[in-house]
Amino acid sequence: MTTFLTPELREGLAAARRLAARKSARLRVVADGQAWPILRLWDGGFAVEAAGAPHLRGLVDIHDGARHLMQALVIASDADGDEQRFDFKRATLAEDRAALDFVRDVDAPVGLLAR
């Protein structure tokens, strides 16, 4: 058995891998009403496909399907092959309730039962 792959076959496998990653990606970055699928997400940033990627800078929203995950300030970092990487300057997780402006007691009642 041989382990040699022709350049055409390697390129075809790489294209299939990129297509599978794009189709399975639920994460997306939204800026100015447009959305781009996120290929990879890590603590310090994310990567999108370089072919259709804008040169994002500023405030963006990151979604997982329909769920809003975070709002972040980003700056374009570098292009690595077929990926455009972006770094977070600030990333704030989205909450489903308003922030409290007071300290809540641990044994505080959860609700009020009417008689």
Domain boundaries, the chain: 26-93
Q: What is the pLDDT of residues 1-29, one digit of tens each?
A: 567 788 888 888 877 877 776 666 689 99
- pLDDT tens, residue by residue, 33-51: 899 888 888 999 999 888 8
What CA–CA distance (Å, rounded) separates 55 from 92? 21
Nearest-angstrom CA–CA distance, 25 and 23: 6
pLDDT given for residue 70 in this prediction? 93
Backbone region of residue 9 per phi and psi (left: phi > 0; alpha: psi in -120 to 50; beta: other values): alpha
Is the entire prediction scored with pTM above 0.85? no
Q: What amino acid is encoded at 80 in this protein?
A: D
**Dist. CA 107–CA 88, nearest whole Å:** 38
Record: fold of 26-93: Thrombin, subunit H (2.40.10)
